[in-house]
Amino acid sequence: MMQHDLDQVLKQHPTLTAFGFDMKENRQAKLSEFEASIEWLSQFDKTKTIRRHSSSYGLKHVMEWASGTYVANGAFIAAAICLGFAFEQHGPNAYFNISKRATGWRGAASPNAYYSIPKRAARVAKASIAE
């Protein structure tokens, strides 16, 4: 099922590669990275508007930090599209209508300070590492 989902997203968005939109490198996203992204993104709500404060590239790094698992930007984007998040392409990246919780941002003075990954994300990350 997941491979079919990934194939559908890539068919609908032929310029999406493992590294993002319109990248010269044409490697396809790995299924394992797509699945990990699906699992992580599934815990977040969709918002009415697209959040332009955190791109797919930044969000994928939050996910990597929480899970200890590398995912390519394109796999992350494909997973968000598959889950029905609205998106706006911005260069090779995308912005999504995703809950602010996904960023881990708590309003600190620096965007790199005070990340707080939701407890469920930490549990999901630990479980996927243990497997």
Q: pLDDT tens digit string along 23-60?
A: 877 677 889 999 999 999 999 999 999 988 889 999 99
pLDDT at position 131 over 70: no
pLDDT at position 127 over 80: no
pLDDT of residue 101: 84
Confidence of residue 117 (pLDDT cuts 50, 70, 90): very low
For the chain, what is the total number of helices (H) and then of strands (E)? Answer: 5, 5
Mean pLDDT lowest among 15-29, 87-101, 112-126: 112-126
The 8 Å CB, 24+ separation contacts for 99-104 are 99/44, 99/45, 99/46, 99/47, 100/47, 100/51, 101/44, 101/45, 102/41, 102/44, 102/54, 102/59, 102/62, 103/51, 103/53, 103/54, 103/58, 103/59, 103/62, 104/62, 104/66
Q: Domain containing 25: what range?
A: 2-130
Q: CB–CB of 105/61 below 8 Å?
A: no
Number of domains composing the chain: 1
The predicted-structure confidence for 58-90, as pLDDT tens digits, reads as follows 999 999 988 889 999 999 999 999 999 999 999
